[in-house]
Each structure stands twice: as structure tokens, then as C-alpha cells.
Amino acid sequence: SQQGEEDPQALSIQEGENATMNCSYKTSINNLQWYRQNSGRGLVHLILIRSNEREKHSGRLRVTLDTSKKSSSLLITASRAADTASYFCATFNTNAGKSTFGDGTTLTVKP
């Protein structure tokens, strides 16, 4: 299976609820990033967490990283309909330049 796998593949919640997406990876990384993609559009960078960090916040986003379990989670609090999109994690390993993206989690936030 591919490095940087997201779980779940699809998530549907009501506006105001929290959304949690998980990402697992296989090899050592330098950093892990989360991206958002609206249908058919380019990816937009959300947040970066380095391998020596455990948690990071940005607005309504909270990212955790557990390098011992090779996993990360993205929490979106108080979700809004505008958060509806696909979310991807991407790992960047010590082989400078190579990156691996997961298949993504499709989030639907119902108003």
C-alpha cells in the first residue's frame, strides 16, 4: 500500500462538528504536510509539522505527529460548509526532493 495513506476515505459531518482525519506512513520523514483540494483545483498548503514536533495549531486546525507509530492526524474544529474538500497528507523524507501524497480524505460538511 502507498505511503501517506489517509483514513477514512470519506467523512460526512454536520456544520459545527469536529472532523478528524488520519494519515499513516512507512518510512522516515523530515516533515509531514497537510493539503486541501477543492474539486478539480490545485492543492493548497494547510500546515507543516516537522519530525521533531508533536503537535501544531493553525486557526481551527490541529495537527499531531507520532513518529513512533508513523502516523499523523488533522483535526478541524467547528467545521463549516466551506471546509468541504479533499484533504491530503504528504510526507517528505530525507531523500531531498522526493515527496509522497496519500489518496486523500473527502470531507463533506452539511449545513
Contact positions toward other proteins, by CB under 8 A? 2, 4, 30-31, 33, 35, 40-45, 48, 50, 88, 90, 92-93, 96-104
The residue (of 15 and 61) whose beta carbon lies closer to other proteins is 61
**Least Å from the CB of residue 7 to other proteins:** 13
CA distance 28 to 49: 14
DSSP letters spanning 88-107: EEEEE-SSTT-EEE---EEE
**Least Å from the CB of residue 1 to other proteins:** 11
Beta bridge partners of 71: 24, 66
The residue (of 31 and 108) whose beta carbon lies closer to other proteins is 31
Q: What SS3 state is found at 81?
A: helix
What letter would DSSP give residue 39?
T
The residue (of 84 and 86) whose beta carbon lies closer to other proteins is 86
